[in-house]
Amino acid sequence: MKRRKELSEEDLDLIRNKVTEDEALEKLFKDCCLRNLRPAAIEYYMNEFYATKKMLKKDLVDIKQEDIEEFIVRSKTQISITTINTRLRALRAFYNYLKKNKLISTNPMKNIKLLRDRQK
């Protein structure tokens, strides 16, 4: 593939139409309602997004893979592996939705795997 100095039209659209965190969450929750998810599932997403954002001190739409990796490393000393995996699942659903709907150019969760929870 030949490299070009200009961006593709799809890349330019993503830059021009950068979605805010509030818009992204609103679209996700609207999609959850359209798919008839339970109110408890929507509340779960809200709680996990809030907790992750609080720990990372960044807007969810600005998070990169390195931020998520840092979040995992820092979280291991503070919360259980099960809780970390719960947050990662919520983030994966969020970023998969944004990528599927072309609201972000790259999915920061693409190469992130859940942590192994060693049985005692």
Predicted model pTM? 0.80
Residue 62 DSSP one-character state:
G
pLDDT at 8: 67
Averaged in consecutive runs of 10 residues, what is the pLDDT profile of the chain (120 residues)? Answer: 63 64 91 93 92 89 92 92 94 94 89 85
pLDDT at 7: 65
pLDDT at 14: 53
Query: Which residue is it, tokens 């809780």?
Result: 83
pLDDT at 69: 94
